[in-house]
Amino acid sequence: MTFLEKLKSQILIGDGAMGTLLYTFGKDSCLEELNLSHPEKIKEIHKAYIDAGADVIQTNTYAANYLKLQRYGLEDSVKAINSAAVRNAKLAVQQNAYVLGTVGGNRGIKPSALSIEELKRSFREQLYCLLLEGVDGILLETFYDLEELETVLAIARKETKLPIIAQVSLQEPDILQDQTPINEAFTRLENLGADVIGLNCRLGPHHMLKSLEQIELPKNAYLSAFPNASLPAYTDGIFHYEGDSDYFKKSAQSFRQQGVRLIGGCCGTTPAHIQGFASELKNSVPVTEKIVKLKTKKIIIEHSAAKRDLQPLEEIVKERTSVIVELDTPRKLDTSKFFEGAKALKEAGIDAITMADNSLAQVRISNESLGYLVKQELGMRPLIHIACRDRNVIGLQSHLMGLHTLGMHDVLAITGDPARVGDFPGASSVYDVSSFELIQMIKQLNEGLSFSGKDLGQKTAFSIAGAFNPNVRSVEKAVKRLEKKIEYGADYFISQPVFSEEKLIEVYEHTKHLNAPIYIGLMPLTGSRNAEFLHNEVPGIKISQTIRDRMAALSDQPLQAAREGIEITKSLIDTALDLFNGIYLITPFLRYELTTELAIYARQRASQVRGNIYVESSIK
């Protein structure tokens, strides 16, 4: 009797985790390679699950694809590993169980990290290897990204008539990470030809059952569930699971009541967990009717945009000339000079004071804390830079929720300089997400949804700036990045400093088609050494030879050199105001008197050039 024929009339028991039982080989070893180097161990684990009551065995091929094997230098061993895995499984089952060729998902929280074309190539190679060895079906498991699963499912359905099991993994019960409701996702997978659709990984029995309560019985497919043993614990550098196998046994009938016909285990499960399921469900009759009380996904909105203290910068800069100024938070604990500068810049009438997020990976006082004090004590708008370098996605979301709670709604999403260039070269650079994905996630918060799709109860009201580096060989390519950031949700842009009229004109010509406004970056040079350092050592900054020569001519006259830097920047402001509404002044070395003078000059010139009535933007 075929696999699908059996599922028509009875519940089948799947196996449990393979990696959990192979962890003794070391957390950094390639568990799929053990199909070749330790086949007896793999067969031993398969046999243990069959002895526990499993009707279905998965091949040890979850990560046996080109994209994942290349981490271990094994990208040329895809065929050898997958073929050995199927042979090991078949020798272990001896026709006492069905063998499913397992293919795992590649995309995680960063879908854009892997293109669809890369995924297709990698998947096809692994799929063909499994099919050539004569598996009884294909198991697609642990797919967080629905687009990836739909893509590979469509390929698999075209290439084989064998049964296909398609399983998604949820960050939150009821909903995928792209906010697709689980019922809708299952309908789409069934329509693409999946014979069995289900859930695996991430959730234990409790939350997986809560999710299954929202799932209707498919019209033509069957349901599967492979829960984790528990949430993982982390002790002495090792992940481990503490789920009780008796707990699985107690939950077994609940899975049956939710319409599950294929049930097994994922991370942390052992033959004891599978024996618990088998003792309750093996050969039992599945349910054919189920009442589902669908929950309506309702977000309770307190429309935060109505609570904003100020008009968003992207709206201001479309209406008139707008000047914002970056003032670095101090590297030491004395904040007196910082607040002197902030007060002076307020008197100069700037629209926002921007604060970097440990730029050049150098440790400074938190921009969040000083941003709040600037807002509360001086009535200024803080624009907070957020780097992907220092926080994982948990920290990023928490940080943003904190900014929202403190009433700071203006942010600049940046990748951030790598840790190795800064104060602590041995520190880790996190980079869970890129600036593109961070922009997208912040936009998601504005819809009232967490990064993982969870209802936040209200919407945030962030105005999102994207970074722009025009100091590159191809401005055209840089503008393509801007267009992509607009697609991801950027409202406006803030550029790296520009040091020539020619570059200003070039940037304008390449960006004038964009709907998102640009604050063009300008930075007064303080001397020749400053100019040479910026040009030669700071990523994203280039200064023309002409300007460097002008500064070099005054290398032994520091006051005159600083004055020359001011005059150069004023000349750039003159050109910039003919092309852009937004001026972004960067304060060097906390020398706020330089950017204060330039901010006043920019306002005056704007009034002369455009007849602007410059409106004070301080919080009243």
For 117-131, 390-404, 596-610, which range has the lowest pLDDT when averaged over its residues? 596-610
d(CA 127, CA 156): 7
Q: What is the pLDDT of residue 235?
A: 55
Which residues lie closer than 8 Å to 502 by C-beta, 6 or more apart? none
User: Is residue 619 predicted with pLDDT exceeding 50?
Assistant: no
Q: What is the pLDDT of residue 373?
A: 98
Are 149 and 103 spatial neighbours (Cβ–Cβ below 8 Å)? no
Residues 57-113 have pLDDT tens digits of 999 999 999 999 999 999 999 999 999 999 999 999 999 999 999 999 999 766 767
| Residue position matching structure tokens 């498991």 | 141
DSSP structure class, residue 614: P
d(CA 21, CA 269): 9
> DSSP alpha helices (H): ranges in 133-268?
146-159, 182-191, 205-212, 245-257
Q: What is the mean pLDDT of residues 417-444?
A: 91
Q: What is the pLDDT of residue 304?
A: 44
Residue 326 phi/psi, 5-degree rounding, is -90, 130
Strand ordering across the sheet containing 164-168: 12-13, 260-263, 222-226, 196-200, 164-168, 137-143, 98-104, 56-58
Question: Secondary structure of the chain: what % helix, strand, coil (to 5)?
Answer: 45, 15, 40
User: Is residue 24 predicted with pLDDT exceeding 90?
Assistant: no
Q: What is the pLDDT of residue 296?
A: 56
Q: What is the pLDDT of residue 615?
A: 44
d(CA 420, CA 87): 46
Are 20 and 240 spatial neighbours (Cβ–Cβ below 8 Å)? no
Q: What is the pLDDT of residue 454?
A: 80
Q: What is the mean pLDDT of residues 539-568?
A: 93
Structure tokens at 41: 């161990």
Report long-range pairs for 554-560 (Cβ below 8 Å, ≥24 apart). Answer: 554/527, 554/528, 555/527, 555/528, 555/529, 558/526, 558/527
Give the closest residue to 166 by CA, choosing from 202, 135, 144, 195. 195
pLDDT band at 300 (very low <50, low <70, confident <90, very high): very low
Q: What is the pLDDT of residue 171?
A: 82
Q: What is the pLDDT of residue 20?
A: 86
User: Is residue 237 predicted with pLDDT exceeding 60?
Assistant: no
| Residue position matching structure tokens 């280039």 | 542
pLDDT band at 245 (very low <50, low <70, confident <90, very high): confident
pLDDT band at 236 (very low <50, low <70, confident <90, very high): low
Q: What is the pLDDT of residue 303?
A: 43
User: Is residue 533 predicted with pLDDT exceeding 50?
Assistant: yes
More confident site: 565 or 453: 565
Residues 131-179 have pLDDT tens digits of 999 999 999 999 999 999 999 999 999 999 999 999 999 988 888 888 8
3-state secondary structure of 436: helix
Which residues lie closer than 8 Å to 175 by C-beta, 6 or more apart? 181, 182, 297, 453, 454
Residues 356-404 have pLDDT tens digits of 999 989 999 999 999 999 999 999 999 999 999 999 999 999 999 999 9
Q: Is 457 exposed, middle or buried (0-12, 13-18, 19+ CB in 10 A)?
A: exposed
Are 66 and 37 spatial neighbours (Cβ–Cβ below 8 Å)? no
Integer CA distances (angstroms), 470 to 42, 508, 582, in order: 54, 10, 15
For the chain, give the mean pLDDT.
92
pLDDT band at 539 (very low <50, low <70, confident <90, very high): confident
Residues 251-297 have pLDDT tens digits of 999 999 999 999 999 999 999 999 999 999 999 999 999 988 766 55
Structure tokens at 524: 């007064």
* pLDDT more than 70, % of the chain: 92
Q: What is the pLDDT of residue 113?
A: 73
d(CA 226, CA 18): 13
Query: Pairing mode, if any, of strands 233-235 and 238-240?
Result: antiparallel
d(CA 579, CA 376): 34
Q: What is the pLDDT of residue 169?
A: 95
Q: What is the mean pLDDT of residues 600-618?
A: 71
